[in-house]
Amino acid sequence: MAGLTYTYECKIDAKGRVLLPTKLKNELLPEIPSGFILKRSIFNQCLELWPKKKWDVELEKLNQLNRYLEKNVRFIRKFLAGVKPVDLDGSGRLLIPKDLMAFASIDKNIVMTSVIDKIEIWDKDKYEVDQSGDEDFKTLAEEVMGSFGNTQTP
């Protein structure tokens, strides 16, 4: 799967179903037969939608951790908390389980935004607060990407 790079605003119905935008659904088409995994994010109050194939790679990494170290077992338990397999229904809708909706404080308006190989699902208001946070994006960009591929300093 090539990287995903788009952001969509969607509405979720009273039963917790969200219709995937056509463009996103088309991008995910090769992944639909295998299904998806929905989980809590580690760093934010949002959800992560993983294509099952990518999730399996992540599980292989977890499986390499020594389970005789307590911190590894605690990490695995926390990482897998609330994980749910999900599929698209015949109408192209994704059902978000109630416990995961509660974790992310999802109400009615959501944002689905890609983070290259998975999709984050945010309550729209929380997403807007996250994006307009106090962090200086220019400084962050310089720190994260500033020396990427550049061996010379000005």
CATH number of the domain residue 88 falls in = 3.40.1550.20
**90: in domain:** yes
**146: in domain:** no
**139: in domain:** no
Domain enclosing residue 119, as ranges = 7-131
Q: What is the pLDDT of residues 58-69, one digit of tens each?
A: 999 999 999 999
pTM: 0.88
The CA R_g of the chain, rounded to the nearest whole Å, is 17
Sheet holding 36-40, edge to edge: 7-11, 109-114, 119-123, 47-51, 36-40, 84-86
Count of domains forming the chain: 1
Q: What is the pLDDT of residues 65-104, one digit of tens each?
A: 999 999 999 999 999 999 999 999 989 999 999 999 999 9
